[in-house]
């Protein structure tokens, strides 16, 4: 029976590439979407036309009860989650001087609280079965910081603290927990940055001289989810074209 892989925020950008990669490797892929997303059905149809039979469930990952209900529904209808990719995230960029509590809370809840909310209802099942993969999608800006992103950088850095602590707790149970920290990836969100800014400010900071590809990050996710990665846990793997080395 195919293992179940749950990718939060899987509709579009990096999440979509991860869903496609995991499906191509034979996983039963499930994703989440915001409860108010009216285009979820359209996305599923587009993926179906490409031969990918995904399932999607509404879930407010920032809300604990919503996450609990979502995981229960997935477990009841499809089966227990074997691979969890905590990918959902938002930005609310502004200098700290302009940052208000609303925009701080929105990013912390969606990017960091969500990791607890989604991991909590699946982790015990993984340890009971003696196999599981938890993969947290952080950011290069969680490693080095970024101007105008105190909220985002704090949340993304916090994800790896969570990774390291949980990895220690479940290491003997056949469950690995790892972080991936992508740099600038050529998603729609990044490509929406004015070309002038990309070419003059961002790409010159990347030694490889280009943006990353979503498929490259998806390939790393696939490896961490594999049986071959069973001895790799508590790691934060940078995939940023050499932009930040540590």
Domain of 91, CATH number, reads 3.40.50.720
pLDDT in tens, 145-176: 999 999 999 999 999 999 999 999 999 999 99
Q: Which residue has the tokens 């609990």?
A: 68
Residues lower than pLDDT 70 in the chain: none
Residues 10/18, Cβ–Cβ less than 8 Å: yes
In a domain, 20, yes or no: yes
In a 10 Å sphere around its CB, with 0-12 CB exposed, 13-18 middle and 19+ buried, how is residue 98 labelled?
A: exposed
In a domain, 246, yes or no: no
pLDDT in tens, 170-194: 999 999 999 999 999 999 878 888 8
Strand bridging mode 28-33 / 55-58:
parallel
Domain total of the chain: 1
Its domain, for residue 213, covers: 4-239
152 flagged as catalytic: yes
The reported pTM is: 0.96
In a domain, 166, yes or no: yes
Catalytic residue among 152, 184, 223, 246: 152
**Buried b or exposed e, range 118-141, using 16+ CB within 10 angstroms:** bbebbbeebbeeebbbbbbbbbbb
In a domain, 32, yes or no: yes
């Amino acid at each position: 029976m195919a293992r179940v892989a749950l990718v939060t925020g899987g509709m579009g950008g990096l999440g979509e590439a991860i869903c496609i990669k995991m499906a191509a490797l034979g996983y039963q892929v499930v994703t989440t979407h915001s409860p108010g997303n009216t285009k979820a059905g359209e996305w599923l149809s587009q993926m179906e036309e490409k031969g990918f039979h995904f399932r999607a469930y509404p879930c407010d990952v920032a809300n604990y009860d919503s996450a609990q209900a979502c995981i229960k529904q997935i477990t009841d209808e499809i089966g227990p989650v074997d691979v969890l990719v905590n990918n959902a995230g938002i930005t609310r960029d502004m200098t700290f001087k302009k940052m208000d509590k609303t925009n701080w809370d929105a990013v912390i809840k969606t990017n960091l609280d969500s990791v607890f909310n989604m991991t909590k209802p699946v982790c015990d099942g993984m340890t009971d079965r003696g196999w599981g993969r938890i993969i947290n999608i952080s950011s290069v800006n969680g490693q080095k910081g970024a101007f105008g992103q105190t909220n985002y950088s704090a949340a993304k850095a916090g994800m790896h603290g969570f990774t390291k602590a949980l990895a220690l707790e479940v290491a003997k149970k056949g469950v690995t927990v790892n972080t991936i920290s992508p740099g600038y990836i050529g998603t729609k969100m990044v490509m929406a940055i004015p070309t002038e800014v990309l070419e003059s400010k961002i790409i010159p900071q990347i030694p490889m001289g280009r943006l990353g590809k979503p498929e490259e990050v998806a390939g790393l996710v696939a490896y961490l989810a594999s049986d071959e990665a069973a001895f790799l846990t508590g790691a934060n793997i940078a995939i940023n074209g050499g932009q930040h080395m540590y």
